[in-house]
Structure 1
Amino acid sequence: MATIQLPAEYGYTLAAAVSTFFVGSWLGIRVTKFRKAARIPYPYEYASYEQVTSASPAQSKAMDTFNRAQRGHQNFLENQGSAVGAMLIAGLRYPVASAVLGGIWSLGRVVYAWGYTSGGEKGRYRGIFGQLAQYVLYGFAVKSVWDVVSGA
């Protein structure tokens, strides 16, 4: 059985993983703010197409912004588990790289959400660097697993 010893710099990896908790909380707060402005009651997840298209221009814009904030938060939640998992695994062999990539991922999620709510459909591409960091993290995680399994 392999013994895993945490590298001295693993705390940086843990800090990057913890940063995702704060990003998720911030995104949730934004959704609540935009929900109130759009007057979308719970438990409704989104303003429907019919609601958005039949509302006044100002209300329609508020609903669309809420939908974008909600989608940005959900996209974060869809990716957070695998991103954090990859950070923690990659950090076993590459703690500083994992921490840096994890920080880039978190920053990318913030830029994505901000761009999507303020810049419309194309605004979400502003945070693409975070998605790229996630894929690089996957590569480091695979390499870390390979190193552990092969005894390297």
Structure 2
Amino acid sequence: MSGADSPEILAAYEAVRSDKDDTNWLLISYAAATGNQLVLSKTGKGGLAELADELDDSQVQYAYVRVEYANDAESKRVKFVLVIWIGENTKVMRKARVSIESSAVKRVLAHHSIQVNASDKKHDLDEKDIIARLRKAGGADYNGGRG
């Protein structure tokens, strides 16, 4: 599998999923040396906004992010999002391989509520929009349809 199941990626995945770890996102990129091997490039604790700052417009990257939001005054939900990033300046052949390679990544980062295919940081990775999508995907809406 092109490196998506490496011990580093698996450990970062478990850290993002853990309630006892502050890590709330991971980013998988292609190794600079080979360009074909997926490697863990970064992890962070700053949420979706911090993750978006790390995305490269010339690459395909895969991210996994923990999103927490309140349903009401008494409850909080934790959901996970898989981001498939295809930068605006990514080479055509790299873009063409995404459909095959993303299935390998999805097998490793298996537990997610939604998948976000993104190419524009501001539009595709807007936290309010993602939370609205998570609420819809979650079934029960304790927020009265207010997003």
Q: Which has the higher contact order (CA 8 A, sep 6+)?
A: 1
Higher Cα Rg: structure 1 or 2?
Answer: 1
Per residue, is there more helix in 1 or in 2?
1
Give yes or no for TM over 0.5: no
TM-score with structure 2 setting the length: 0.29
TM-score, structure 1 normalization: 0.29
Structure with greater strand share of residues: 2
